[in-house]
């Protein structure tokens, strides 16, 4: 209806709200690999490149420059594929140049150069947020994360300052570099970089000799995890510091369907936190108490999976030394 009656048909089209694709905000999803928001229409291509970028950084034995070299090779392959538009090709070449400077800065650290590199990477990511080709953002986010970690460690190890007192690059106001590296203002929470604030605690699951385990939900993705909290002072008093470090390293190196996966490891002043996959079935000890005993078929399956887990650990030169029903989770993972 118009102000004084029906709108004439000839004028009605002019009153229609323009709902073209250009004016509609694209629906976004959270990538389970990099945990960044991506457009729904870019999911398939983003996942393909994000997986390659993650594999370039998956080997903990590689140094940051080595991982960056692999990422540069992947970006070069994208440029040579000849199926990119000019805008994307331009920023892929820009990304190569920035990454090369990042590698040089890793070898010869310079704070001002570090700040320039991080600023340029942020600019590249911002200018490609709505690009129809997600290739640039997939690699740029991963490169930026690697350089952030390396620069943060170098600033701290050099004794120039501590994480809580380091000032951010230009334009970041009074925020600390710790907030710049890990904070939400960045919108860059990626696998293996996490804080306790990233998780919502739902309920306690169990309590063991070395700490408590909680069911938690990742705020960014809604995924459920089991979070183990270990008190640092207890580990020091019991002389178990080396054991805790070894346990963390073993879990981080393990990639097997029958061994519990460690997704994140971080700490605060009082606690160490291990964020692991959440297994809905509980452990075999609780299951035995609940049903009395296993059938022959169930026992055969659980024993076979336990053997597969132990065989994998032995192939890595690891001896468990504490195999028991309480350490075997259903469906069955060795913890």
Q: What is the Cα–Cα distance from 297 to 119, expressed in whole angstroms?
A: 59
Closest CA to 93 of 57, 156, 140: 140
Q: What's the sign of the alpha-carbon dihedral 72, 45, 223, 177? A: positive
Q: Give the residues across from 218 on adjacent strands.
A: 199
What DSSP string describes 250-269? HHHH---TTBPPEEEEEE-S
Helices (H), 37-134: 43-56, 64-80, 86-107, 111-127
Q: Are 88 and 133 in contact (CB under 8 A)?
A: yes
Please count the other Cβ atoms lying within 10 Å of the Cβ belonging to residue 196: 15
Whether omega for the bond prior to residue 263 falls within 30 degrees of 0, making it cis, is no
Q: What is the Cα–Cα distance from 112 to 101, expressed in whole angstroms?
A: 12
Q: Point out the residues that are catalytic.
A: 322
| DSSP tag of 186 | G
Within 8 A by CB and 6+ apart from 7, the residues are 1, 15
Q: And the tokens for 282?
A: 């509980």
| Half-sphere exposure in the Cβ direction for 12 (13 Å, CA) | 7
């Amino acid at each position: 209806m118009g102000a004084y009656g029906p709108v004439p048909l000839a004028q009605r089209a002019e009153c229609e709200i323009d709902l073209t694709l250009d004016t509609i905000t694209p629906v976004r999803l959270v990538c389970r690999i990099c945990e960044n928001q991506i457009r729904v229409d870019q999911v398939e291509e983003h996942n393909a490149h994000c997986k390659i970028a993650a594999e370039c950084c998956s080997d903990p034995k590689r140094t940051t420059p080595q991982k960056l070299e692999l990422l540069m090779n992947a970006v070069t392959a994208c440029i040579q594929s000849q199926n990119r538009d000019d805008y994307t090709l331009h920023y892929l070449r820009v990304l190569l140049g920035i990454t090369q400077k990042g590698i040089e800065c890793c070898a010869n650290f310079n704070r001002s150069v570090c700040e320039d590199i991080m600023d340029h990477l942020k600019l590249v990511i911002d200018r490609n947020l709505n690009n129809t080709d997600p290739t640039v953002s997939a690699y740029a986010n991963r490169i930026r994360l690697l350089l952030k970690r390396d620069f943060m460690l170098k600033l701290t190890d050099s004794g120039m300052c501590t994480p809580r007192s380091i000032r951010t690059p230009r334009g970041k106001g009074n925020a600390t570099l710790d907030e710049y590296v890990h904070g939400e203002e960045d919108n860059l929470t990626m696998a293996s970089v996490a804080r306790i604030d990233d998780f919502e605690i739902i309920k306690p699951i169990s309590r063991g000799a070395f700490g408590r385990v909680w069911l938690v939900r990742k705020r960014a993705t809604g995924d459920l995890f089991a979070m183990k909290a270990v008190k640092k002072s207890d580990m020091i008093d019991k002389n178990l510091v080396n054991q805790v470090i070894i346990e963390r390293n073993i879990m981080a190196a393990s990639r097997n369907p029958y061994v519990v996966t460690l997704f994140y490891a971080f700490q605060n002043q009082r606690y160490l936190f291990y964020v692991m996959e959440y297994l809905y079935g509980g452990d075999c000890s609780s299951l035995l108490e609940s049903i009395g005993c296993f059938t022959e078929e169930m026992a055969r399956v659980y024993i076979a999976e336990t053997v597969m887990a132990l065989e994998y650990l032995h192939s890595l030169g690891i001896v468990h030394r504490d195999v028991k029903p309480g350490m075997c989770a259903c469906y069955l993972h060795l913890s």
